[in-house]
Structure 1
Amino acid sequence: MRKKTVIITGASTGIGKNIAKLFIERGSNVVMNSSNEENLKNTYREFGEPENAICIVGDVSMKETGEKLVMAAVQNYGSVDVLINNAGIFSPKPFLDIGEEELDRFMGVNLKGTYFTSQAVIRQMLDQGNGGSIINMGTVLVDHAIAGFPATAPVSSKGAIHSLTKQLAAEYGKDNIKVNTISPGIIRSPLQAKIGVNSADDLAGLHLLNRVGETEDVAEAAFYLANSNFITGETLNIAGGHTAGHQFG
């Protein structure tokens, strides 16, 4: 991945932040995106203002943001080799309490953000003619719902991303564009506080390993998929056994 260009959305905090950190440390050229300018600048400074990274502020639910990210990547580094669609929102709320505006928000950031950013990137990858890799961020809840965790709106939007991954892999496999999904379990990040969980470790029992994941675990998975030449259309669960079985007793 040295000198290859990677676009990472939602790169200022949590999982996206550590994905960006890993790719920067391993010599990739990284276009870091976030809708929160202050968080993005703080993260860039925390990384030591690396020469092989730039920051682009923008809301991925707006189609032009993806186009702006591609333009910045090409102007600064000459290509787009990898896209990691990490930006997303997630919060639990009972099905009957979800209104139209709230559903639109999840679909806008999660699905439209992934869809239109991928669209801009694939256009560029086709022009380059040497393939590439797109990595989408899903959730294990798409295949393994939890009755006590009502999240129909965000899970519906993430389920659409899982389907989009397979369809894009089918349409662009002939062009050597690999498209995969990372499906995290409970990962220690700022998300838990946002959804009212005091400690991520309180949810450790959802995993067979009886511990939560770390953002570094997801970052390593993203790096692996970005490097792979023969994986496409797949969902990689980074979930400590969450989808494989349950603790009992």
Structure 2
Amino acid sequence: MSEKKTALVTGASSGIGLELTHTLLARGYQVVANSRTITSAGTLAASERLALVDGDIADQETAKKVVDTAVQRFGRVDLLVNNAGIFIPKPFTDYSMQDFERLVRTNLVGFFFVTQYAIEQMQKQYSGHIVNITTTLADQPVAGVSASMALLTKGGLNTVTKALAIEYAGEGIRVNAVAPGNIDTPLHKNDDYGFLRNMHPIARMGQASEVVDAILYLDAATFVTGEIISVDGGAHAGKW
């Protein structure tokens, strides 16, 4: 088995996932990066320490392939970052069944299978770390930002983070989450940046690198589990 750490990153072709993949590689990690079309996206190139896996992470076969690739190529799974996710904001009564199914499939099912497979491998190693990417809005909704069904799924990830941290603490497996505010990524390319900046007491957009910093802290902080770190310019602190 390799002595280097091996990380799995979903939603890795752009935004936070892409920044994280580059940073992990720069720090010596071996990485398995996934998105629906990661090999054709042109943002990452496979290498000796980087494996690319195409496919929807909500498909059980894709989730299994991500973990199997890590074990076959690099011998272990040390870090799983469940970054793939979607956010559909709209008034509650405007949500369609299609919206609901998309949110559940990507945000929850996409977490479910790959985390199960990763934990099974981590149990064999008696070590491992999972980081879920949620949103600060799950615990601190903001007037004027209607996104209840998106928050239902992301809030569920906050809850399962704590539940799994307790369930697997005795097996050497830690589970944490990072809850970003509005981050300057392609997700917001068509949005009003002025409005988004003012949703934070620190009135600017966050950077993907700042979310990555929180993930790296959690991966190094071996006595921290069940934690949800807000990277949101203070928005989680309350009304301002």
What is the TM-score normalised by the length of structure 2? Answer: 0.94
- 1:219 paired residue number: 212
In 1: Cα distance, 2:38 partner to 2:30 partner: 20
Name whichever of 99-108 and 25-34 sits farther off: 99-108
- 1:243 paired residue number: 236
In 1: Cα distance, 2:40 partner to 2:15 partner: 11
User: Identity of counterpart residues, as a percentage?
Assistant: 39
Which letter maps to 1:218? Answer: V
Query: Is the CA contact (8 Å cut-off) linking 1:44 and 1:50 kept in structure 2?
Result: no
CA change 1:29–1:38 in 2 (3 A) is closer
- 2:164 paired residue number: 168
Query: Is the CA contact (8 Å cut-off) linking 1:12 and 1:39 kept in structure 2?
Result: no
Query: Is the CA contact (8 Å cut-off) linking 1:103 and 1:153 kept in structure 2?
Result: yes
In 1: Cα distance, 2:40 partner to 2:210 partner: 22
In 2: Cα distance, 1:219 partner to 1:51 partner: 23
In 2: Cα distance, 1:202 partner to 1:152 partner: 19
In 2: Cα distance, 1:119 partner to 1:38 partner: 25
Query: What aligned pairs does 1:150-169 form with structure 2 within 5 A after superposition?
Result: 150-169=146-165
- 2:191 paired residue number: 197
Query: Is the CA contact (8 Å cut-off) linking 2:6 and 2:31 kept in structure 1?
Result: yes
List runs of 5+ in structure 1 lacking aligned partners: none
CA offsets 1:196-244 (integer angstroms, 9 cap, x no match): 4143x54212212211110000111111111221110010000111111
Query: Is the CA contact (8 Å cut-off) linking 2:133 and 2:179 kept in structure 1?
Result: yes
Q: Residue 50 of structure 1: CA displacement?
A: 4.0
Which letter maps to 1:235? Answer: I
List runs of 5+ in structure 2 lacking aligned partners: none
Count of residues paired in the alignment: 238
In 1: Cα distance, 2:123 partner to 2:104 partner: 27
- 1:207 paired residue number: 200
CA offsets 1:81-137 (integer angstroms, 9 cap, x no match): 1000000011211111112222011011101111211111000111222x1100001
Is 2:97 the partner of 1:100?
yes
In 2: Cα distance, 1:34 partner to 1:159 partner: 23
Query: What aligned pairs does 1:178-189 form with structure 2 within 5 A after superposition?
Result: 178-189=174-185
CA offsets 1:28-61 (integer angstroms, 9 cap, x no match): 0000100124554x1114xxx5431110011111
- 2:110 paired residue number: 113
Query: Is the CA contact (8 Å cut-off) linking 2:12 and 2:38 kept in structure 1?
Result: no
In 2: Cα distance, 1:225 partner to 1:39 partner: 31
Query: What aligned pairs does 1:32-43 form with structure 2 within 5 A after superposition?
Result: 32-37=33-38, 40=41, 42-43=42-43
Is 2:73 the partner of 1:76?
yes
Which letter maps to 1:96? Answer: T
CA offsets 1:149-205 (integer angstroms, 9 cap, x no match): 111121111011111101110110001100001000111011113xx4143x54212
Q: 1:139 aligns with which of 132, 135, 140?
A: 135
Is 2:120 the partner of 1:126?
no
